[in-house]
Structure 1
Amino acid sequence: MDTTYHSNIPIETLSLLDCDVRNFDFNHPIKNIFFDNIEYIRKLDASGKARPCILDNVERSLLCHTCYLGFDQFECPDCDNWNIVPHSCHSRFCNACGVKYAKQLAAKATSFCLDCPHRHIVFTIPEELRNWFRQDRTRLNLLFVASRNTISFLINKSLADKLKKKKLSDTHYIFKDIPVRNEFGMIATLHTFGRDLKWNPHIHRLIPELIYSFKKDKIKTFHHFNFTKLRKTFQFELMRLIQEVGGLKKPEEKNRLYKNHPKGFYVYAKFKSNDNDSNNASSNKNSKDIQGCVNYFIRYAGRPAMAENRITEYNKETKTVSCFYNDHKDEKRYDVTDNVIDFINRLIIHIPDYHFLTTRYYGFYANASKKTLDKVHALLGIKKNKDYSRETRTKALKNKLDKFKYRTHLIDSFNRDTIQCKCGAIMQYTYTYNPLEDKRNDRTYRKRCIDEMYKMRLRRRST
């Protein structure tokens, strides 16, 4: 590819291209709000009050699907028609990219899930600890470990009693290196927000009601989750891990938490639904339940903490944003009107740090345990007389991911084919323009592009 030619395209030319093929009167309220208040984000970044990831993610999301991030050009072989397909931003604060990313993530997660009932469990921390986790976001890793240890303790109760008699100290990941343990599977996603957008870190877990015994090389059902034990074990494990990293140094702090929460920290777990493993209808129901559950708690893995359809009004004159949410407790609708700056602040605190994984896998669902997962699938396949081999699962995953390729996904979502010419022929790819080639984070370039977009919007409003 002749990169010299592409690098000579000025920003002004790109803005004209966008003016011709894109509508800059954004229909997306979140993008509109941040575009009008980008200077506020820049000031926060310059003063050091905002994490570096905030400005980068916001700017990239504003440039998403514009020629400023580059484009692929297609030309019709039968006529002179041509089309350009702008590149997307792949930001973790973009609704357009986030929807597709969540679908891909959900497809990958459900591809290796066992064909059995799964339990959706939510682990929540008390209000007293929330600010402690916000002060240093690496501490959020402890929530994953504590919830993982809680489930591991429940399914290895007899093993835990034996180790307690021997007075062996707990490790960071309990029972991880003990070969005779019972193994479980787990998909975990971190949400740092409630429906009202307040800082409220909690972990969503999807756990199969099936465990694997390394000692006996057998699988067995496990669907009894003692709620009291869940709450108290999670409380103990989280406080133990917090003390490991230097938190809760004073004994009175720890005692106060035990006193204020005598029943343990809040844990929500759905009851087991009736099923019949020998029934194909049940098998279909299991897969639908798993897909629905995964879609629910993975949907915010790569996009803002609020769905745009919850924003009812953005008033530029009064600089206010009106939105609504349904409270978990009573499911009543609450309408809220906020100052636009307060609204922005409530959204950006939930942007994850660089390289922080909000979705993780444990037990035989982890990448390092593929051989164990193959064994479990094989044993389940013998029990149900079905083929759950890795080859079958990989083929099914490929078929799912093919649906999320750019052209296929666009046709399925909007019934529109961007590379089909008006004459009916399929356009051929000609070249790619990539202004950020070998530059992963060019803030100066992004700033120039956004400033040019802003000037263009002013010109369009004045005409």
Structure 2
Amino acid sequence: MASEMMMKKLGLLCADDFVDLDKNIIQNIFTNHFQELLEDPEIIQKPLRSCVFSNVERMVKCRTPEAGFSLFECPHCHDFKIVPHSCKSKFCNSCGVKYAAQRADTIKSIVLDCPHRHVVLTIAEKLRQFFQYDRKLLNLLFSAAADTLNHIFDSFGKKDDHFKPAFIITLHTFGRDLKWNPHVHILLADGYVDEANVFHRLKFISYTALRKRWMTTLLYALRDNIGDKYKLMLKKITNILYKKYDNGFYVYAPPTKYKNVDDTVDYVVRYVGRPVMAQSRITDYDPVNKTVSYWYERHEDGVRVDICESVIDFMKKLILHVPDDQFKMIRYYGVYASVKKKARALVKVMTQRLFRASLFKKNWRDFLIHTFHHDPLLCKCGHYMEFLECYVP
């Protein structure tokens, strides 16, 4: 319940008193057409996952009075401002961007102060369907990628040597055209730690070894974990893939082109938590004819492709990529794994500043100041507004 003071303030509200009140295009599309989506024959036949409902509900209320709000007042002139609460859903374009920025800060605070490379591991198109049939199989992309890298690094030493790499894996389920295309992005330190906790720089990774190991590791993992319903189909596809991809699945793992680790992290982490569809790619939304127009740059040749489709088809593509509840899209391995914190502290031979100082965690106000160079609590009179109370529905 709002207090008597807040109710009096609310009676004097105008649009200028709110921060970030306007809805974005995707938020408007789901607000206006989500009920129609629920009545679509395809959706009726195969109901939406519960996580889709919860994320859409949060997203459409994001930064509106329906999500709750906080009241701030200037102690000097007694002007006030209402700040609607955000939804914190990564499905939300606005909150997704903030999440990516915060995650980048977190990663910068823990990574080794050494060059890192951006590694991308992809899968054959024929395999994508299995990860959509059973989303639990997405965990195999993480474990297979980790097993692949650990094997590659172990091969650098003798038989009994065990080298520990440092890497962070993030999962993407979408391609530029919004279709289902699960693959992983990896932030990999250009080096490894031996059993004596001595750091060694990495000079070379064999693409051929990486490609082949990634393919075989993933195919074996799928074989051992897929449900009986799809075993025969997977076996037939596997035989085809071994003939077609004699050099393994496509991977991308060049040495970094950036001079410092911050730039590399910024480049890789821009993929982390970013919304499936950037607002800037939407060229038109027609609520009357119920269409959405957007574009993407084709990966193969860089050609721009323009799409105009119904809002229903557009929403179907977006909700396909909502992760299940509690599913971790970012995972830490080797030296970066949380269980390895003691080992991290021992690796001090590399530089004077091996692990980077923890960065200041930004709240909503800090984020706006850092991103837009605007302090939302700076009053017109030059004083700073102070928090009074908040309303949570």
Give SS of 1:355's match: coil
Identify which of 25, 31, 34 aligns with 1:35.
31
Contact 1:123 1:202 in 2 (8 A): yes
Cα shift at 1:328: 1.3
Asked if 1:201 corresponds to 2:179, the answer is no
Q: Which residue is 1:460 aligned to?
A: none
TM-score by length of 1: 0.76
C-alpha displacement of 1:329:
1.3
TM-score, normalised relative to structure 2: 0.89
Matching residue of 2:167:
186
Paired residue type of 2:35: E
Shift of residue 17, structure 1, vs aligned partner? 5.2
Residue in 1 aligned with 2:213? 233
Instruction: Specify which of 303, 307, 313 is matched with residue 278 of structure 2.
Output: 307
Tell whether the 8 Å contact from 2:72 to 2:82 is kept in structure 1 after alignment.
yes
Counterpart-to-counterpart distance in 1, 2:75 and 2:332:
47
Correspondence 1:260 to 2:260? no
Q: Deviations over 1:431-459 (max 9, x none)?
A: 12112xxxxxxxxxxxxxxxxxxxxxxxx
Q: What is the aligned partner in structure 1 of residue 311 from structure 2?
A: 340
Residues 1:292 and 2:273 are matched in the alignment: no
Q: Which runs of 5+ in 2 are unaligned?
A: none
Separation in 2, partners of 1:220, 1:360:
23
Matches within 5 A, 1:106-185: 106-157=104-155, 162=159, 180-185=161-166
Distance 2:190 2:242 in 1: 30
Q: Residues of 2 paired with 1:24 and 1:86: CA distance?
A: 8
Counterpart residue type for residue 185 of structure 2:
H
Match of 1:388 among 336, 354, 366: 354
Q: Say which SS state the counterpart of residue 182 (structure 1) adopts.
A: coil
User: What letter corresponds to residue 380 of structure 1 in structure 2?
Assistant: M
Aligned to 1:366: 337
Q: Is this contact kept in 2: 1:75–1:83, CA < 8 A?
A: yes
* Corresponding residue to 1:414 among 364, 367, 372: 372
Q: Cα 1:16–1:339, aligned 2, differ >3 Å: closer, same or farther? A: farther
CA distance in 2, matches of 1:147, 1:68: 42
Contact 1:223/1:272 (<8 A) preserved? no
**Deviation per residue, 1:98-153 (Å, 9 max, x gap):** 11111110111122212222121111111111011001111100001111111111
| Aligned equivalent of 2:253 | 269
Preserved CA contact (<8 Å) 1:211 1:222: yes
Aligned to 1:76: 74
* Partner Cα distance (1:117, 1:24) in 2: 38
Which residue of structure 2 aligns with residue 429 of structure 1?
A: 387
Instruction: Indicate the residue corresponding to 2:321 in structure 1.
Output: 350
Q: Specify the SS of the correspondent of 1:131.
A: helix
Contact (CA 8 Å) 2:18, 2:84: kept in 1 or not? Answer: no
For residues 382-439 of structure 1, what are the alpha-carbon distances to aligned partners after superposition, in whole Å with 9 as ceiling and x for unaligned? xxxx2336xx623xx12xx2xx32222223333433323332222222212112xxxx
| Change in CA separation of 1:235 and 1:18 when aligned onto 2, cut-off 3 Å | farther
- Point out the more displaced range, 219-228 or 42-51: 42-51
Tell me the alpha carbon deviations over residues 20-72 of structure 1, each in whole angstroms, 9 at most, x when there is no partner.
74599946221121121021244477775211111211121111112212111
C-alpha separation in 1, matches of 2:247 and 2:106: 37
More helix by share: 1
How far apart are the structure 1 equivalents of 2:370 and 2:308? 36
SS at match of 1:230: helix
Q: For 1:25 and 1:75, how far apart are their aligned partners in 2? A: 18
From the superposition, tell whether residues 143 and 272 of structure 1 become closer, same or farther in structure 2 (CA, over 3 Å).
Answer: same
Report the residue type matching 2:137 in the other structure. Answer: R
Q: Distance in 2 between matches of 1:94 and 1:16?
A: 30
- The equivalent of 1:452 in structure 2 is none
Relative to 1, partners in 2 of residues 1:51 and 1:16: Cα closer, same or farther, differing over 3 Å? farther
Instruction: Indicate the structure (1 or 2) with the bigger Cα radius of gyration.
Output: 1
Matched, 1:326 2:297: yes
CA contact (8 A) 2:169 2:185 kept: yes
Does structure 1 retain, via aligned residues, the 8 Å contact 2:19–2:82? no
Amino acid in structure 1 at the alignment position of 2:180: W
SS at match of 2:215: helix
**Which runs of 5 or more residues in structure 1 are unaligned?**
164-179, 274-283, 436-463
- Asked whether the 8 Å contact 2:18–2:82 carries over to 1, the reply is no
Deviation at 1:288, TM superposition (A): 3.8
- SS class of match (1:249): helix
Per the TM alignment, residue 222 of structure 1 is displaced from its structure 2 partner at its CA by 1.7
Q: 1:246 aligns with which of 226, 229, 236?
A: 226
In the alignment, is the contact (CA less than 8 A) between 2:169 and 2:184 conserved in 1?
A: yes
- Which amino acid in 2 is paired with 1:419? L
Q: Distance in 2 between matches of 1:414 and 1:232?
A: 45
Q: RMSD over aligned Cα, in angstroms?
A: 2.8
Aligned equivalents of 2:329, 2:364: Cα separation in 1: 24
Contact 2:17–2:80 (Cα < 8 Å) also in 1: no
**Are the equivalent residues in 1 in contact too, given 2:19–2:84 (CA < 8 A)?**
no
